[in-house]
A and B are shown apart, each in its own frame.
Chain A
Amino acid sequence: MNINTNSPNENSRHIAPERIAQLLTRAAQQLDDDTVTALRRARNVALEKQSLSSPVFALSAAHNIRWLMPHSAHQWMVAIILFVAILFGGVSYWQHENDMSHLDAAILTDDLPLEVFVD
Chain B
Amino acid sequence: MRNLAILAFLLLGLASAPAGAATASWHSLTPAQQEALAPLSQQWDNLPEQQQHRLLKTAKRYPNLAPEQKSRFRDRLETWSKLTPEQRDAAREKYRAFRKVPAEHREQVKRMVRQSQEEKVRQSASGVPAAPPSLQP
Contact = CB atoms under 8 A, between A and B. Distances in A.
Given A90-B15, A100-B57, A105-B58, A114 B4 contact: no
Contact of A108 (B12, B77, B113): B77
Interface in A73-105: 75, 78-79, 82-83, 86, 89-90, 93-94, 97-98, 100-105
Given A82-B7, A116-B113, A109 B57 contact: no
B96 A86 contact: no
Contact of A118 (B61, B83, B109): B83
A70 B61 contact: no
DSSP majority for the A interface? helix
B57 A118 contact: no
A68 interface: yes
Nearest to A66: B3
B122 interface: no
A68 B117 CA distance: 65
A113 B91 contact: no
26 contacts: A67-B3, A68-B6, A69-B3, A70-B3, A75-B3, A78-B4, A86-B15, A93-B18, A93-B19, A97-B54, A100-B92, A101-B54, A101-B57, A101-B58, A102-B61, A104-B54, A105-B65, A107-B76, A108-B58, A110-B72, A111-B72, A112-B110, A114-B79, A114-B80, A118-B83, A119-B91
Interface of B: 1, 3-4, 6-8, 11-12, 15, 18-19, 54, 57-58, 60-62, 65, 69-70, 72-73, 76-77, 79-80, 83, 87-88, 90-92, 94-96, 98, 109-110, 113, 117
